[in-house]
Every structure is written in C-alpha cells, then in structure tokens.
Amino acid sequence: MKYALSKRAFLAGSLSVLTSGAVWAKAPAASLRPVPRPANAAKRSVPDPKSLIAQAKLGGRVVYAVADAKTGARLEGNLPTTQVAPASVAKAVTALYALDALGADHRFQTRLMATGAVSNGVLGGDLILVGGGDPTLDTNHLADMARQLKAAGVREVRGAFKVFEGALPFIKTIDTDQPDHVGYSPAVSGISLNYNRVHFEWRRNSGKYSISMDARSDKYRPDVTMAQMRIADRSLPVYAYADQKGRDAWSVSRGALGNAGSRWLPVRKPAAYAGDVFRSMAASQGIRLKTAEVVRRAPQGAVLVTQRSEPLREILRDMLRFSTNLTAEMVGMAATSKRKGVPSGLRASASEMNAWAKSSLGVSGMNLRDHSGLGAANRMSADAMVDTLVKVFASDSLRTILKPVAMRDSKGRVLKNHPIAVNAKTGTLNFVSGLGGYMEAKDGSVLAFAIFSGDEAVRKRIKKANREAPQGARGYNKRAKRLQQQLIERWGTLYGS
C-alpha cells in the first residue's frame, strides 16, 4: 500500500512540530549556524602513508624519508635505512661530486694538436684530436674546430691523423645488462660525440629500403663509415650488434622496419666515431686526413685549436633535467681523475664517490656502482639521500640546478597553482621509480625527501631482449609517480605549516 502526503498534511505536521512544547524543551542552547572546523582538521584528514602505499599496488618495497631541510630533523619515514635501487636519483650525488672536485666553472677542453711545424700551410707531422672528457661535444663543435684549423693556416696534413681517448677509461657499455641497441647505454671513453649515439634512418620506396647512418646535428648531417647497418631476413632479434674489423656492425629485422622511421643507436667505438666525423668536417674545409688512428697515450705537441665546453654547472643542470647517463659517467670519472688519477673503470670511480660522500658529507648508506644509476646493482637508502640533501641545502649548490617537478591531477594534467613547489631528480628503471629533492610548502618551509620503490622479483624475470620496454613497466611507473605526489602532498599538509 502506498501513502501520499498532501501539501496540507505536510504544513499541518510542520505547524504541530513548531508549536510543540516538547520540541522547544530540547532546543539547542546555541545557534544552528555552521561551526568552524578545528584548526588541525586538515591534518586529521590526511591519508595514512600505509594506506597510500597499499592503494598504489606497486609490489616489492617502498622506502622513503623526509626531513626539515634546514635542521635535518626527521619528520617521517618508511624503511629509511634499507638500501634499494635509486635509479637516476643517483645523478644528484654525481653532480655534487663533480662540483666539489672540478668546480662549477670548469670547462672541458677538446683540442687539435700537431707534432710538427706548419710551413706554407702544410703540417709535416701528425694531427691529433685530443679528447678532454667533454660529454657535450657534438658535430657542430667539430665543424667549428675544422674551420679554426683552416684559419690557423693548415691546408694539408702529411702525417697521420690520430684521436686520443685516454683521458678517461674505455668502457664498451655503461650497463652490460641492457640490450645492445639502446641509446642510453653507449660506450664511454675520454672523447664522446653526440652522446655517443649514431642516427639510423630508413625509408621504403617501391619495395626497397634506403638506409643511412649519420652523425646529424641541427646544422649538419655527415655520413659515417665506422657504423654500418644491414637489413636481415629474420624476425628476432630486431637489432643485432657485432664488432667487425674496427666498425660497429649492426643488422636489423626487415619485418620490424615498416615504411619509414629512425632511431639513435649507441656507439661502441667513440674515438673512431669522432675521428670519422672530424675527417668529414675537415674535408669540407679542403683538408684531407687519413683514416683515424685511436691512441691512449697522452700526445705531445703544439695546440692549434681548443674547443671549450659550457661551464660544468650548466652541463650538470642539463644532465639532471634530461637524465643523460653518458654525462653522468663522464663527469663522475672526470671528478675521480682529478682527485685520485684516472680510475680503472666505472665501479672503481663510483667506489671513490661513495667514499667521498662519507668523508666529505658524513653520509653513509650509499653503495653506488656507477655514476648514472643505470646499473641494477646500485644501492642507496632514503636516509642517505636525505642526509645529502640536508648537508648541501645551505649552499644551494644542488637545489638551483634540480629540475622543477610539476604536480598533476588524476588525468596527468599539470596543476599550475599547486601550493607545493618541488625541485628534484627523478629516476626510472623497469619496475623501479625514485624521486629525491626539495619541496617548498605554501608557508615557505622547505623539506628534503627521498622516495624509492622497486619490485626486484619482477625485474629479475624480464629477459634482456625485452628490457627496453617490458610489459607492465609503464603502468608501474604511473602508479609510483602518483604515490610520490600523494606523499609529498601529505607532508605539505602535515609539516608545511
């Protein structure tokens, strides 16, 4: 049975309530106006960190620490002393290490030297391209050096053309666990060019492919001979590499190419690559050079041309922004070379950086095996990163070169008026995500923090051939970044006012 309430019945009922003495006997003593929320209501409503971590569904471990950047007072943490993979957050430590050893104004030098005199435009001896550890050397710089060589009066070189790479140790690849074809794990030596990457491009016309390998820049596109590509009739692997008679010999699966495309491939012979490209630039100036001979013994002779890099501080700012692994390894080993002499390799240099962090910053809990964070064996605790950030906060040496990290809404859109400003270094590997730096709350207080998450069990199951973009890694990274923002917003509310 249904009952209908007429307008008259409603009004009558309302009137009886308003005139009822029983109701008035229990009337509130105060007005029914909205009551202001307690001053700490916002803090009481902040989600618990354990619930945030559970909701992220990351698996593995999530470790973090946060402290007052000025005093170092710890505010919150989860497994803060547990050492885990920091990924590219390690580059922030490398930046500090390089600044301390080399200085913010240090400029790397790449030189052209001659072993003989120049007479009537003819160099009777050898011409040597001398690498000085500059990670930013590019094709434009070599073109400028060729022009300067001609301006110095050189028209002909009778002797050999050599490339010196011994300023730093030669390392075939930054991380041997990475696929051969990924551009973020190239070779390292005392000379690099275009971040030790060569550009491969293909296009299909009438069923046939035209391919090229070049050292392109925004101004030039010189072909290279030391890196060669062959199209193979196979399905897998997509790319294969071989060291063949002093050349980087690549092959690619025909079925993986499509109609057209391009990508940067790593260079495994940096000195030969730089020599190849400089020969082309010199030829454009009418100077013919013999095929480059790679040497590791420091040359003696007269300096004809010097190419200087931007100041180290600017190089490091770009390294932290774009997370260039080669830059991190080269400046890290350059710092070790300045302190202790040329190291035997990445692990020896990183070990020296760990010792520096302990002796100069008073920071323990770092066990880095390289300077970029690319290798899976790198370890760092959240406490160690926060200790580092607190130690250097007053000098502002790191905060001003860290990348601004935007806060985003649930759809990934940047929140322009977010009350928290973050300057930090990100870090991403397969099923590993890190973030470490400084956050400034609405009231101006600054906190130092580090957040590392990783699922080592899943990482170990990924085959080497699939490590460039394994299934599930992208989703993991999105969830990890969301958790990082949620923790930062939690801290901003709890400790930023």
Residue 49 φ/ψ, nearest 5 degrees: -60, -35
Structural domain boundaries in the chain: 43-103+311-495, 109-168+273-308, 194-266
| pLDDT band with cut points at 50, 70 and 90 for residue 103 | very high
The mean pLDDT of 73-79, rounded to a whole number, is 97
Would you tell me which CATH number, out of the four given (3.40.710.10, 3.40.50.620, 1.20.120.160, 1.10.10.60), belongs to the domain 43-103+311-495?
3.40.710.10
Query: What pLDDT was estimated at residue 45?
Result: 79
Two tokens, residue 184: 């973020």
CB–CB of 198/265 below 8 Å? yes
The pTM score is: 0.90
pLDDT of residue 17: 32
Phi, psi of 475 (to 5 degrees): -65, -40
Among the ranges given (9-23, 38-52, 154-168, 170-184), the one the predictor scored with the smallest mean pLDDT: 9-23
- The SS3 assignment for 421 reads strand
**Mean pLDDT in residue range 200-204:** 97
> What is the tens place of the pLDDT at every residue in 218-243?
999 999 999 999 999 999 999 999 99
| Percent of the chain with pLDDT strictly greater than 70 | 91
**pLDDT band per the 50, 70, 90 thresholds, residue 42:** low
What is the reported pLDDT for 44?
A: 73
The token pair that represents 155 in the structure block: 């028209």
Domain 43-103+311-495 identical in fold to domain 109-168+273-308: no
With cut-offs at 50, 70 and 90, classify the pLDDT of residue 252: very high
Buried b (16+ CB within 10 A) or exposed e, 45-80: eeeebeebbeebebebebbbbbbbbeeeeeebbbbb
Q: Are strands 161-164 and 127-130 parallel, antiparallel or unpaired?
A: parallel
What are the pLDDT digits (tens) for 310-339?
A: 999 999 999 999 999 999 999 999 999 999
| Segment holding 18, helix H or strand E | helix 7-18
Edge to edge, what strands does the sheet with 293-295 contain? 293-295, 161-164, 127-130, 109-114, 302-308
Each residue of 172-190: b (16+ CB within 10 Å) or e? Answer: ebbbeebbbbbbbbbbbbb
Q: Lowest-pLDDT range, 13-22, 97-106, 140-149, 338-347?
A: 13-22
Q: What does each C-alpha distance from 407 to 22, 339, 474 come to in angstroms?
A: 55, 39, 19
- Residue position matching structure tokens 């897998």: 236
188, 171 Cβ separation under 8 angstroms: yes
Entry field: residues in the chain = 497
Identify the burial level of 249 via C-beta atoms within 10 angstroms of its C-beta, where 0-12 means exposed, 13-18 middle and 19 or more buried.
middle
For domain 109-168+273-308, the question of CATH label 3.90.1150.10 is answered with no
The per-residue pLDDT for 12 is 38
For residues 287 and 154, the answer to whether their CB atoms sit within 8 Å is: yes
> Which own/partner contact pairs does 211-218 have at CB distance under 8 Å and 24+ positions apart?
215/139, 215/273, 215/276, 215/277, 216/139, 217/138, 217/139, 217/140, 218/140
* pLDDT bucket at 41, cuts 50 / 70 / 90: low
Q: What percent of the chain has pLDDT over 90?
A: 88
Between vectors from CA 111 to CA 109 and to CA 112, what angle results, nearest 5°? 175
Mean per-residue pLDDT over the chain, rounded: 92
